[in-house]
A and B are shown apart, each in its own frame.
Chain A
Amino acid sequence: MSEASLVVVRGLRRDFDISRPWLNRLFEGQRRLFLRAVDDVSFEIAKGCTFALVGESGSGKSTVARMVVGLLPPSDGEVTIDGISMQSASDSGSRQKLRRRIQMIFQDPYASLNPRWRVSRVIAEPINTFGLLKGEAVTKKVGELLTLVGLHPDDGDKFPHEFSGGQRQRIAIARALAAHAEFIVCDEPTSALDVSVQAQILNLMRDLQKEFGLTLLFISHNLAVVRHMADRIGVMYLGRVVETGDSRALFARPRHPYTRMLLDAVPDLDMSGRQRTPVAGEIPNPINPPSGCTFHPRCPQANERCRREIPAMIDGVACHAVEEGRAG
């Protein structure tokens, strides 16, 4: 599988220093405090496929995304893209090349689009930065890209604030395509949008993925959206991937108790009246996570071993009960 994988993530970890300033620590006798936002996360994404990370707020999805695109250095682990390590690509040439091939789309496109630039300049920027085209060809390309994402070439003369949320997301997508990106990391790209606009953007992303063979890392807390978009999925809980697998199979036969709980919590739009287990408890404080399997305080299958020992990822699931064959 490794040969076909464009993106390989191995043992990614990230600690944040959340101690008070050292002077306070000195007076208050406090020790340094670390928050482990991401711990031992590994996955691969095959070329042209979509891998999705799903999980509740604070589970570490965005932190993984920022490490994958190189916005945040990992505390440990490695991200390799097309065989080039993001961490050790030291010569600026191969770094620069890698950077062009990876683009990121955020939840709030407004924050990522320069508000003082006209849209045509926003979209042309990567073309100019990476010297992909020159002169008239740039203008022509920008017009084509705007049309491709469902806007009008004349929209290039406007400023980002003149557009709706959905249209701004289209601009962000056009910008990513302008760089000839092959790998796009999308962090909650439709979470701020109405469902009807979300449908337009998700359809557009799938069309473009097919047309250009794009590889996607797609992040969302919405399970139905993730199922619609992804080929493979990783479910995150408190910084770890607890279950990973083929999208359809994972939703049809969830194995990890947390995945099951999450799926049971999704509102039942089919109104099938299926029997569901009520959700127990809440996500614990990440500064002081539970011992062993961090899900144990909420897990109906937890036992002594779970409180002691972190379950290893075996065959796509990190759970003692599944490993021992005692998960329902």
Chain B
Amino acid sequence: MTETPSFPEPVISVRNLVVEFATRRGPLRAIDGVSFTIGKGEVLGVVGESGAGKSVTGSAIIGLIDAPGRIAGGEVLLHGKRIDNLPAEEMRRLRGRKIGMIFQDPLTSLDPLFRVGDQLIETIRTHSDLSASAARERAIALLAEVGIPAPERRIDGYPHEFSGGMRQRVVIALALACEPDFVIADEPTTALDVSVQAQIIALLKRLCATRGTAVMLVTHDMGVIAEAADRVAVMYAGRIAEIGPVRDVVKHPLHPYAAGLMGAIPTLSSEADRLTQIPGAMPRLTNVPPGCAFNPRCARAFDRCCIERPEPALPSAALAAREHVASGHRVACHLYTAREDAR
């Protein structure tokens, strides 16, 4: 059994988040009651298949849900203060100073018409009172920190002169320019080759550890999570199916969906002839089944699963002991709730 790493100070707390999109046929609930915290210096990995709600959760936290979407319930706290109800202007300032963002395509964060250095210097100066030359010094130091060789020369280059991996490093430098307390990285390595991906993950981890930044790392790649995260949340159809220390979830997933997901991934060491196959596909938002959203695909579903929705909870004590469940490992599945008549 592994110990839960202790991150005492929550930087970000999300409580019962609900996000809805207005459509002609009424509101569609994309996120339905998501809760978690991320501590100082902690990386929370968020995984799940496409459409599970990873990006919407991330955007909601940093106030970037655009109409027709809106936060329809719950709250988001930064250092214990609510930020989900801040006026747009105040939220924008907060994003510059306290929150950094890294997205899949570095070109969306970099303006192709401006030199890399000018973009960095502008960001630094908007959010601090450094002089132009001091800001330039700082920009060079940042580029060096993210591993750009010869930064004093590269700082005057344009984004297109950088390779994909280098651009993502620049975006990371940009996200860190104001020493944010919280960084959200949405699929930061998905567009990169494995060798570059490995470099970027190592960089993110190192920066987070040395600066004590809280990181929400969104990805559909369990390998990236295994490498980089301290804890992981597995999302399915807008909800968290399982959340816990990364080692436990990756090696001993409890939720049938999480277990299926792990078995579906080919690894370099597995000798299996066939991969675990979860039948069917994730439901559309228009058509999420009642009870547990996973029930039509779940081999272990029983009658209660079609009626009652399971909430993320600590597994019952007896089960926790039998299945070696570490503390802080929550799962939203009726198989693990206290009722002994289950299964």
For A282, the chain B residues whose CB sits under 8 A away are 163, 165-166, 195-196
Task: Count residues on chain B whose CB falls below 8 Å from chain A CBs.
Answer: 42
Q: A199-B277, A224-B265 are in contact. Are A269 and B199 (CB under 8 A)?
A: no
Distance of A282 Cα from B270 Cα, bound (Å): 29
Among residues 224 to 243 in chain B, which have CB atoms less than 8 Å away from a CB atom of chain A? Answer: 224, 226-227
For A197, the chain B residues whose CB sits under 8 A away are 49, 281
CB of A225 closer than 8 Å to a CB of B = yes
Among residues 186 to 216 in chain B, which have CB atoms less than 8 Å away from a CB atom of chain A? Answer: 193-199, 201-202
Q: Kindly supply a per-residue 1/0 record for chain B positions 264-280, scoring 1 wherever the CB is within 8 Å of any chain A CB and 0 otherwise.
A: 11111110011111100
CB of B261 closer than 8 Å to a CB of A = yes
B275 touches A228 (CB 8 A): yes
Q: Which of A14-22, A140-148, A258-266 contacts B (4 or more CB under 8 A)?
A: A258-266
CB of B220 closer than 8 Å to a CB of A = yes
A269 touches B194 (CB 8 A): no
Among residues 245 to 292 in chain A, which have CB atoms less than 8 Å away from a CB atom of chain B? Answer: 251, 261-271, 278-279, 282-283
Q: Kindly supply a per-residue 1/0 record for chain B positions 18-60, scoring 1 wherever the CB is within 8 Å of any chain A CB and 0 otherwise.
A: 0000000000000000000000000000000110000000000
CB of A227 closer than 8 Å to a CB of B = yes
A196 touches B278 (CB 8 A): yes
Q: What distance in Å separates the Cβ of A79 from its nearest Cβ neighbour in chain B?
A: 27
CB of A303 closer than 8 Å to a CB of B = no
Contact of B250 among A221, A263, A271 (CB under 8 A): A271
CB of B221 closer than 8 Å to a CB of A = yes
Contact of B267 among A166, A261, A269, A278 (CB under 8 A): A269
CB of A206 closer than 8 Å to a CB of B = yes
Query: Which residue of chain A is the closest to B247 with respect to CB atoms?
Result: A271
Task: Count residues on chain A whose CB falls below 8 Å from chain B CBs.
Answer: 37
Q: What distance in Å separates the Cβ of A191 from its nearest Cβ neighbour in chain B?
A: 11
CB of B291 closer than 8 Å to a CB of A = no
A203 touches B226 (CB 8 A): no
CB of B328 closer than 8 Å to a CB of A = no
Distance of A165 Cα from B197 Cα, bound (Å): 25
Distance of A139 Cα from B275 Cα, bound (Å): 32
Further 17 A-B residue pairs, CB within 8 A, beyond A199-B265, A265-B195: A56-B193, A195-B264, A199-B266, A200-B278, A206-B274, A221-B193, A267-B223, A267-B224, A267-B226, A267-B227, A269-B223, A271-B250, A271-B251, A282-B163, A282-B166, A283-B163, A283-B193
Please list the 4 inter-chain residue pairs (A to B) with the smallest Cβ-Cβ separation, ordered nearest first.
A267-B223, A199-B264, A194-B49, A228-B266
For this complex, 23 residue pairs linking A to B, each with C-beta atoms less than 8 Å apart, are A56-B195, A166-B281, A195-B264, A196-B261, A196-B264, A198-B264, A199-B266, A200-B277, A203-B274, A222-B266, A223-B194, A227-B266, A228-B266, A261-B195, A262-B195, A265-B198, A267-B198, A267-B201, A271-B250, A278-B198, A279-B195, A279-B196, A283-B193
